[in-house]
Amino acid sequence: MPAVDFEARVETTMESIRSNDDIHPDNKERIREFKRDLKLADMSDAWLQKLTAHLKVIAEHVGDTRFEDMDEDDGTSSGKPHDDGREEAVAL
């Protein structure tokens, strides 16, 4: 079974973030700083890959909105929690 080169995957994700015109420049910098801080804290490359990939998707989703300017309502279009059609469990 071949080993996964997570370090290379992190760099590929970071290059994709750097070259993506749909991501606000300040968010690109925040992701770069976050990755650096986690690397300095000895976070594994597998975790770095997971987190940077998720942040890339979030940054693409918010587009021109800076992370610093977001609030809890910015995650949905209606300002309400997303309804995925599942029924919520009711405590008895």
| Digit-coded pLDDT (tens) for 50-65 | 999 999 999 999 999 9
State which amino acid sits at residue 12. Answer: T
CB-hemisphere CA count at 13 Å for 72?
2
* Cα–Cα dist 47/39, whole Å: 10
Q: What is the CB neighbour count within 10 angstroms for residue 16?
A: 14
pLDDT higher than 50, residue 76: no
pLDDT higher than 80, residue 84: no
Asked if residue 17 lies in contact with residue 52, where contact means CB atoms within 8 angstroms, the answer is: yes
- The whole model's pTM is what? 0.75
